[in-house]
Amino acid sequence: MYVSDEEKAWNQVWKARKRKRGTEEVKLWKRGVGMLLAVLLAMAWLVPQPEKIAMAAPNDIAGGSYGSVTWVIDADGKLTVSGSGDFRAPLTNAAAPWFSYAEYIRSADIQATGITDMSSMFAGCYNLVSVSISDTGSAVDMSWMFNDCERLVSLDASRFNTGNVTDMSYMFANCFSLAQLNVSGWNTRSVTNMSYMFSNCYGLTSLDLSGFDAANAADMSYLLDGCANLKTVYSPIHITTSASLPESSGSNSLIWVDASGNEWKEMPRNLDSGIELKRILALPTAVKYVPFEAYVGGQGSALASGTLPEGLALASDGKVSGVPCAAGAFDFSIWWTDENGVDETVVYRLVVGENTNPNVDTMSDPNYELIEYVPDLYLESLSGTGSHTLVSRGDYSEFVAVYLNGRKLTEGTDYTSAPGSTRITIRDQTLTDEGEGTHTIGIEFRTADNTLRRAVQNYTVLPGKAPEEDNSNTNNSGGGNSGSYTQPPVEPVEAETETVISHVVQRGDTLWKLAIRYYGAGRFWTRIYQDNREIIRSPHRLSVGQVLTIYLEEGNDGNAETEDVMAGDTYTVKAGDSLWRIARKYYGKGSLWQLIYEANQSRISSPGRIRTGQVFTIPSR
């Protein structure tokens, strides 16, 4: 291709310019790199760096110095700190200069004197197993000192001079393996912060803080947080703020008791001498004459101390079960050997409540409640061959036994059983063998996995004759119910006009009699009970002078004023409400109460027992 002389001249000029520009760019790049290096060197010069020192031996891991203090980690993982003064700028919250090598540290010999800031001194030294410190008298900060020393098992810190220390927060936090810690003789009068001091020290089973003076400790929050295996604590003196004790362990509540049996949720305040607090696991509350079970140990369990309530027994698999026949608080300890061959001893407290109506009412399990029950019995109204039937919602295939006041009844002699759901018919003679007074019937069920389920009720044996009864009640007799399940309200007979009547209870009145008088049948007594629950404490006891409200509605409730029900409507229970009243409000018929009950079963333990403030879903009809 032909190229003119003019083009050749232009190409030469362009190439020369390109070479010159490239040379200038290289010079600029070199100049920039030089300036950057100069800046970095200046910064390095300005930032204080620990001076590297010659190692004591060629195999040493690391070493350094700050002021007159030197430190070295030898080939065996021993940290030695010597000299006088602090090992870093004090009170700066900076990590210890050997922190980057913390994983190599297995022991420590702190020979340096005059250290004022010991915070985070061994933080992160998770392989540390032994420590020796010659002088702590100048220390004012020991926060985070042993934080995360996971393999530290034993530490005798009794010779630590802590008279000037103000901060001990997180001092032993996350020392998971620490099983023996001696802090006796410590002067903590100046300490203001002890928060999280022993947090997550899982290995501790006993801790003596009786020498601690907490007069100036403004923060003791979470002092023992996560100390799950702690069994004994000796409390500090002069505590002025909240210092909580560990609260729970698995499914059992954890309580702390002193020598007098008093329970504590936090360390006692303002004491001049420390007291011993022992950990006790509180089993679920039991009720006298109601079937009970709980697991308290492992295979090979044995009773080490204390006694179980009469009627309960300990099986070798660690299960306590039976029917308690005595009320009160029972402390006992269980011993067994775990799967690792380690002996375990745990102290438990079982509180057995009296078989009062309120206590018994709470003990039927969901889906096992009674829907028919034994009423109160009047001795002079019973025949020698009569019987009474109670019915549980429980599956008959799970039925095991019936107990009366803790005594196991004999099927075929004391009672008969039949499906639908579970029907138990008990002879009157058996029901009255215990004499006058309140008695407890407990029905035991066992699910497919052998879990205990219960249906229970109280009834009362009374002297004299029963009040008038409606002839339509062909089997169970009596004047009311004191059991755990309140029979669902039944729609009243029609009345010509809607009327609200105030009835003043007279001597001899019963709910049964009043139901006959106002509704024409004694079986409607539950209607009166439901409408007056805020007044009637027990359905089988009325007090002379009580004023009961009796609602007589128009025919079949059909003309009652109602509210439109929209999808998602809810209702907040008010004082005096019952399912019957709520159903009447929304549907015009109290007898439709079961629509509301079935839509809210997870929130309603019993149709006869709803609480102010509960929020119910109102389903459409």
Confidence of residue 28 (pLDDT cuts 50, 70, 90): very low
Fold classification of 286-354 is Immunoglobulin-like (2.60.40)
Give, in degrees to the nearest 5, the angle at Cα 591 between 589 and 594. 115
Confidence of residue 252 (pLDDT cuts 50, 70, 90): low
pLDDT at 581: 79
Residue 178, token pair as written in the block: 């620490």
Segment 494-508 shows an average pLDDT of: 65
pLDDT per residue as tens digits for the range 87-126: 998 877 788 999 999 999 999 999 999 999 999 999 999 9
Q: Is pLDDT above 90 for 594?
A: no
Strand partners, 384: none
Percentage above 70 pLDDT, the chain: 80
Model confidence at 174: pLDDT above 80: yes
Q: Which of 245-254, 403-412, 595-604 has the lowest mean pLDDT?
A: 245-254
The answer to which of 17-21, 134-138, 535-539, 548-552 has the lowest mean pLDDT is 17-21
- pLDDT range class, residue 608, cuts 50, 70, 90: low
- Higher-pLDDT residue of 576, 392: 392
Name the most confidently modeled range: 188-202, 338-352, 485-499: 188-202
Helices (DSSP H) in 274-427: which residue ranges? 357-361
* Location of structure tokens 């002389």: 5
Nearest to 432 by CA among 458, 460, 409, 465: 460
State the distance between the two ends of the chain, measured CA to CA, in whole angstroms: 99
> Given this model, what pLDDT does residue 73 score?
96
Hunting for tokens 């393996």 — which residue is that? Answer: 177
With cut-offs at 50, 70 and 90, classify the pLDDT of residue 32.
low
- Name the pairing type of β-strands 180-182 and 252-257: unpaired
The candidate with the shortest Cα–Cα distance to 213, out of 240, 233, 182, is 240
| pLDDT at res. 65 | 93
Q: Output the six-digit token pair for 363.
A: 């003990």
Average pLDDT, the chain: 82
**286-354 shares its CATH topology with 366-462:** yes
Which pair of tokens denotes residue 461?
């044996």
| Confidence (pLDDT) at 515 | 78
Q: Where is mean pLDDT largest: 56-65, 380-389, 451-460, 507-516?
A: 451-460
Q: How far apart are CA 252 and CA 421, in angstroms?
A: 33
Domain borders along the chain are 51-141, 286-354, 366-462, 499-617
Domain 499-617 = CATH 3.40.50.740: no
Q: Is the pLDDT of residue 162 over 50?
A: yes
Q: How many CB atoms lie within 10 A of CB 465?
A: 11
Pick the CATH number of 366-462 from 1.10.3720.10, 3.40.50.720, 2.60.40.10, 3.40.50.300: 2.60.40.10
| 13 pLDDT above the threshold of 60 | no
Of residues 252, 253, 204, the one with CA closest to residue 225? 204
Distance CA 476, CA 468 (A): 13
CA 514 to chain centre: 46
Task: Return the residue matching tokens 């000299």.
Answer: 83
Band (pLDDT 50/70/90 cuts) for residue 580 is: confident
At 37, give phi and psi (nearest 5°). -65, -40
188-246 pLDDT, tens digit per residue, is 999 999 999 999 999 999 999 999 999 999 999 999 999 988 999 999 999 999 999 98
pLDDT at 495 over 50: no
At 277-306, the pLDDT tens digits run 999 988 988 999 999 999 998 889 999 999
Q: Are 167 and 191 in contact (CB under 8 A)?
A: yes
Residue carrying the six token digits 């004994």: 232
pLDDT at 567 over 80: no
Position 496 pLDDT exceeds 50: no
CB 113 within 8 A of CB 90: no
What residues have CB less than 8 Å from 252, skipping those under 6 apart?
281, 282, 283, 284, 348
Provide the pLDDT for residue 58. Answer: 79
**Does residue 289 contact residue 440 with C-beta atoms inside 8 Å?**
yes
CA–CA distance, 580 with 531 (Å, rounded to integer) = 8
Pick the most confident of 1-15, 247-261, 454-468, 550-564. Answer: 454-468
Sign of CA dihedral 497, 500, 505, 511: positive
Q: For residues 542 and 431, give the distance between their C-alpha atoms in angstroms, rounded to a whole number.
A: 23
Please give the distance of CA 292 from its chain centroid, rounded to a whole number. 20
What is the pLDDT averaged over residues 331-351?
89
Q: Are 128 and 154 in contact (CB under 8 A)?
A: no
Q: Residue 376: pLDDT above 70?
A: yes
> Which residues face 606 on adjacent strands?
609
Query: 514 pLDDT exceeds 90?
Result: no
Nearest CA-CA partner of 180 in 153, 200, 157: 153
**pLDDT at res. 605:** 67
Q: Are 219 and 194 in contact (CB under 8 A)?
A: yes
Say how far apart CA 67 and CA 72 lie, in whole Å: 15
- Average the pLDDT over each of 27-36, 507-516, 594-603 and give the range with the smallest value: 27-36
Asked if pLDDT for residue 20 goes beyond 80, the answer is no
Q: Which residue has the tokens 């009672």?
A: 415
| pLDDT at position 249 | 52
**Rounded to whole angstroms, how far apart are CA atoms 621 and 565?**
8
Torsion of CA 225, 230, 235, 236, to 10 degrees: -50
> Looking at the predicted structure, is the pLDDT value of residue 267 above 70?
yes
Asked if residue 31 has pLDDT above 70, the reply is no
Residue 487 C-alpha from the chain's centroid: 33
Residue with tokens 């998770």: 126
- H-run or E-run covering 256: strand 252-257
The encoded tokens of residue 556 equal 């079949």
| pLDDT exceeds 90 at position 46 | no
Of the pLDDT bands very low, low, confident and very high (cuts 50, 70, 90), residue 452 is: very high
Distance CA 234, CA 244 (A): 13
Residue 502's pLDDT is what?
A: 85
Q: Has residue 30 got a pLDDT over 80?
A: no
**CA distances for 407 relative to 15, 442, 446, angstroms:** 115, 10, 18
Tell me the average pLDDT across 596-610. Answer: 76
Contacts of 338 (CB under 8 A, 6+ apart): 298, 344
Q: Is the per-residue pLDDT at 366 higher than 80? A: yes
Which two three-digit tokens encode residue 145?
A: 């000192």
321 vs 477, higher pLDDT: 321
Mapped onto helix, strand or coil, the DSSP state of residue 58 is coil
In this predicted structure, what is the pLDDT of residue 588? 78
Does the pLDDT at position 342 exceed 60?
yes
- Give pLDDT, residue 379: 86
Which amino acid is located at 67 in the chain?
G
Dihedrals phi, psi of 100, to nearest 5 degrees: -65, -20
What tokens appear for 290 in the block? 């109601």
Residues 129/154, Cβ–Cβ less than 8 Å: no
pLDDT, tens digit (0-9, with 9 covering 90-100), for 315-327: 999 999 999 999 9
Tokens of 549: 């409200």
pLDDT band, residue 559 (cuts 50/70/90)? very low
- How large is the average pLDDT for residues 539-544? 76
- Inter-residue contact 198 to 227 (CB < 8 Å): yes
**Residue 56 reports pLDDT greater than 80:** no
Q: Is 581 or 396 the better-scoring residue by pLDDT?
A: 396
Q: How far apart are CA 202 and CA 370, in angstroms?
A: 46
Which residues lie below 8 Å from residue 600, measured CB to CB, with a gap of 6+?
A: 616, 617
What is each CA distance from 78 to 126, 146, 177, 452, 527, in whole angstroms? 13, 16, 20, 58, 82
Question: Does the pLDDT value for residue 477 go beyond 80?
Answer: no
List CB contacts of 263: < 8 A, sequence separation 6 or more: 255, 256, 257
Q: Which range, of 187-196, 364-373, 475-484, 602-611, averages the lowest pLDDT?
A: 475-484
Q: pLDDT at position 505, please?
A: 86
